[in-house]
Amino acid sequence: MRRIRRRTVLGWRWRRNPLRRRSDVAEGWVVLATWVTATGVAVAVGAVGARAVDGALRQQRAEREPVSAVVLKATPHDARQVGTGFAYARTATVRWTDDGGTVRTGTTAVRTGTEEGTEVRAWTDGHGRLVPAPAGPARAALRIAVSG
């Protein structure tokens, strides 16, 4: 049995054809207008989303400042995620001095293998609380691209 091959002809709705109806032409214009509108709206929404994420990341970088802290107590070396077994950043209790000269302690993430007594960089917000490090340029660019 022979298979019939169908050809897809671009723009068939606008070509002169004795079987073409007005509704075919109208359908073609509606489909074209829908695609153009959807593409324009998607680009606009992506740009607005990317701008919003960029603004949030800029504000985050402006609000957070690094401080030098000393590790007082760290989690065990074999801290791994149960499901995958990968070693992640450990948490540690650290001590630092804020801008007012007050000695503070808190818990933050440190690299695996960081020993007690090691000086590390921790990040604080405007109120002196420990917060995660702000996104670096590469991570920020990735977040902006993905959100857009």
- For range 89-95, the mean pLDDT: 82
The whole domain housing 73 covers 65-132
The verdict on residue 83 lying in a domain is: yes
Residue 10 lies in a domain: no
Has residue 120 been placed in a domain? yes
Domain assignment present for residue 33? The answer is: no
User: pTM here?
Assistant: 0.61
Return d(Cα 143, Cα 100) in angstroms, integer. 35
Q: What is the mean pLDDT of residues 22-46?
A: 92
Report the DSSP pairing between strands 130-131 and 65-74.
Answer: unpaired
Question: What pLDDT is attached to residue 129?
Answer: 86
For residues 125 and 64, the answer to whether their CB atoms sit within 8 Å is yes
Amino acid present at 70: V
Q: Which of 50, 49, 90, 47 is nearest to 71 (CA)?
A: 90
Contacts 24+ apart (CB under 8 A), 89-93: 90/114, 92/120
Domains: count for the chain: 1
91 domain residue, yes or no: yes
The residue assigned the tokens 């919003």 is: 52
59 part of a folded domain = no
Q: Does the pLDDT at position 5 exceed 70?
A: yes
Amino acid (1-letter code) at residue 61: R
18 part of a folded domain: no
**Distance, CA of 74 to CA of 47 (rounded, Å):** 43
Share of the chain above pLDDT 90, in %: 14
CA 62-92-102 angle, 5° bins: 60
Q: Is the pLDDT of residue 146 over 90?
A: no
In a domain, 118, yes or no: yes
